Amino acid sequence: MSEDYSAAADWAERDMTLPQHSTSARRGRAAADVGRDLVEEAGYRLGRVGDADDGHVKR
């Protein structure tokens, strides 16, 4: 089953109202950086496509 989440992603990036004075709400590059840090802290590093079958390499 294939799902298209593009509309939801677009809404979240552009139209969703973020909480005022939030210390954790992020969009765009800032959100990607926080997500990458969390993944790496969990023991994974995000690799380039081709590094592993799923694109992620376990440390």
> Domain for residue 19, yes or no?
no
At 1 the pLDDT is 45
What tokens appear for 56 in the block?
Answer: 């992620």
> What's the total number of domains in the chain?
1
Q: What is the pTM of this model?
A: 0.50
**Tens digit of pLDDT at every position of the chain (59 positions):** 457 889 988 888 889 888 889 888 888 888 888 888 888 888 877 665 454 555 555 55
At 43 the pLDDT is 81
Domain membership of residue 58 as a residue range: 29-59
Residue 25 zone, left/alpha/beta (φ > 0; ψ -120 to 50; rest): beta
> Domain for residue 59, yes or no?
yes
Please list the alpha-helical segments (H only) found in the chain. Answer: 6-14, 28-41
At 56 the pLDDT is 53
